[in-house]
């Protein structure tokens, strides 16, 4: 085994690249940052080295190539450049792995071609992920590069949970099925929740509620995902910041035939102008809670609709799992919004679910239990760490390859 212990995690979006350089010896962040507004002429790179003193530079990034080269320069300036012998691998977040990729995968030309073949089912995400991979490979062609898929953790869903009840041949022809997303987070958080309870992940059943600007729920039985709320795309399921979550598919036909909206307009409506934003004009839960506390009716409706959908998934996944040991809240809203956790679990004592108001109000960056001792189901707040999970999976693969 070589002495290289560092993994660079890259998350390339359509106009941004997020990165973290992690030392796998102790999980420490040697550097992290964000290059944004790629292709927009007014790019910005914010880089935080281990010393913690943030550096910000404004420079145009015509493309991902330019942005990644700027990131590489920042890392080199800290003495942790891409040519450093300590760098073991680069781990890439890839949104859609389809049915083929159910585990982290060493990137080859053939793998890249397959990720490209999945663009029709992930047109908003996979192209940027591919660009990130291509640029990183051109910078370090000799270094192992690993794709960690957002869909992979959900690949264990039984067929009856992954299927939509539509014509099987049509579904298969167009690869229409439920894939699920945020898998890296669900995997990390379900495992961390088990550890918080002092148990082996294989022994516990967990409902994970990943509530960020995007949001998804999952039912994890003994460390294995058995259902999740997102589907073919990240549009299905919970009410999100700007996405509707579940709607009757008939809404689409109606808006098209009666409302005269084009398919692209409906796509944009449901993905970008719906959810909390569509209901009340704000998608930041802080602002919504503030407005609701001042009596704003739209904000209260948005909050109540969000909570109602969340409770339906908690109840649904309780039935799917049969026995629930823990409910874990994570991501921006889940980790920070005590009123959301309280409302989502209120009145569920008959199901063994309760939240201690005092524990729930504690603000902390640590994983913590917020249910009282007597609660049969442990309710927990578990900060997610997708980058660390990607780095761990990447490192493990490189060292077993």
Quote the least distance from Cβ 144 to ligand AMP, whole Å.
29
Q: How far apart are CA 144 and CA 391, in angstroms?
A: 13
- CA atoms 326, 327, 330, 334: torsion sign: negative
Neighbours of 108 (CB within 10 A): 10
Instruction: Give least dist CB 114 to ligand AMP, A.
Output: 28
Residue 284 Cβ, how far from ligand AMP at the closest point, in Å? 4
Would you count residue 237 as binding ligand AMP (CB under 6 A)? no
**Residue 284 lies near ligand AMP (rule: CB under 6 A):** yes
Tell me which residue of 188, 166, 206, 162 sits closest to 9, measured CA to CA: 188
386 marked among binding-site residues? yes
18 labeled binding residue: yes
Instruction: State the Cα–Cα distance between residues 354 and 90, nearest whole angstrom.
Output: 42
Tell me the chain's radius of gyration from C-alpha atoms. Answer: 21
Q: In the structure encoding, which two tokens stand for residue 345, read together? A: 């679990």
Among the listed residues 70, 333, 343, 390, the single contact to ligand AMP using CB under 6 A: 333
Which of these is catalytic: 23, 78, 150, 248? 150
285 is an annotated ligand-binding site residue: yes
Sequence-distant (≥ 6) Cβ neighbours of residue 104 within 8 angstroms = 91, 146, 147, 148, 149, 152, 393, 394, 396, 397
- Smallest distance from ligand AMP to CB 78, Å: 25
Would you say 281 is a known binding-site residue? no
* 70/285 with CB nearer ligand AMP: 285
Q: Does 383 bind ligand AMP (CB under 6 A)?
A: no
Catalytic site includes residue 150: yes
Name the percent of the chain in helix, strand, coil, to the closest 5.
40, 20, 40
Options 132, 275, 278, 332; binder of ligand AMP; rule CB under 6 A: 332
**Do the Cβ atoms of 252 and 266 come closer than 8 Å?**
yes
In whole angstroms, the minimum distance from the beta carbon of 285 to ligand AMP comes to 4
* Two structure tokens written together for 19: 């990165």
Q: Does 242 engage in binding with ligand AMP (CB under 6 A)?
A: no
352 is in an annotated binding site: no
**Would you say 325 and 378 are in contact if contact means Cβ atoms under 8 Å apart?**
yes
Q: Does 337 help bind ligand AMP (rule: CB under 6 A)?
A: yes
- Per CB under 6 A, 285 contacts ligand AMP: yes
Ranked by CB distance to ligand AMP, the top (closest) residue is 332
Q: Which residues are annotated as a binding site for substrate?
A: 93
Binding site for ligand AMP (CB under 6 A): 212-213, 241, 283-286, 331-333, 336-337
Catalytic residues: 150
């Amino acid at each position: 085994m070589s002495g290289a212990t560092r993994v660079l995690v890259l998350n390339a979006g359509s106009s941004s690249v997020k990165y973290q350089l992690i030392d796998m010896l102790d999980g420490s962040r040697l550097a992290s940052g964000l290059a944004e507004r790629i292709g927009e002429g007014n790019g910005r790179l914010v880089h935080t080295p281990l010393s913690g003193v943030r550096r910000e530079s404004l420079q145009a990034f015509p493309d991902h190539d330019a942005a990644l080269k700027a990131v590489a320069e920042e890392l080199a300036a800290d003495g942790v450049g891409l040519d450093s012998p300590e760098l073991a691998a680069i781990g890439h977040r890839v949104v859609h792995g389809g049915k083929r990729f159910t585990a982290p995968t060493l990137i080859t030309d053939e793998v890249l071609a397959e990720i490209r073949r999945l663009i029709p089912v992930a047109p908003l995400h996979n192209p940027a992920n591919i660009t990130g991979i291509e640029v990183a490979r051109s910078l370090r062609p000799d270094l192992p590069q690993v794709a960690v898929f957002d869909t992979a953790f959900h690949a264990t869903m039984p067929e009856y949970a992954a299927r939509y009840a539509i014509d099987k041949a049509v579904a298969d022809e167009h690869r229409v099925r439920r894939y699920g997303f945020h898998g890296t987070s669900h995997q990390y958080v379900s495992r961390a929740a088990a550890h918080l309870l002092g148990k082996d992940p294989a022994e516990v059943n967990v409902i994970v509620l990943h509530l960020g600007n995007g949001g998804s729920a999952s039912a994890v039985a003994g460390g294995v995902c058995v259902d999740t709320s997102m589907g073919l795309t990240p549009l299905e399921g919970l009410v999100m910041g700007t996405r509707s979550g579940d709607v009757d598919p008939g809404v689409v036909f109606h808006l098209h035939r009666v409302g005269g909206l084009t398919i692209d307009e409906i796509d944009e409506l449901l993905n970008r102008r719906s959810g909390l934003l569509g209901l009340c004009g704000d998608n930041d839960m802080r602002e919504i809670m503030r407005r609701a506390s001042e009596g704003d009716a739209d904000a209260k409706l948005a909050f109540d609709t969000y909570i109602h959908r969340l409770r339906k998934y908690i109840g649904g996944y309780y039935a799917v799992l049969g026995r629930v040991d823990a409910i874990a809240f994570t991501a921006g809203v889940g980790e920070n919004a005590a009123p959301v956790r309280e409302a989502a679990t209120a009145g569920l004592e008959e199901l063994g679910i309760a939240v201690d108001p005092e524990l729930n109000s504690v603000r902390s960056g640590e994983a913590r239990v917020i249910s009282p001792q007597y609660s049969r189901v442990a309710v927990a707040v578990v900060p997610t760490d997708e980058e660390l999970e990607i780095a761990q999976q990447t490192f493990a693969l490189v060292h077993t390859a």
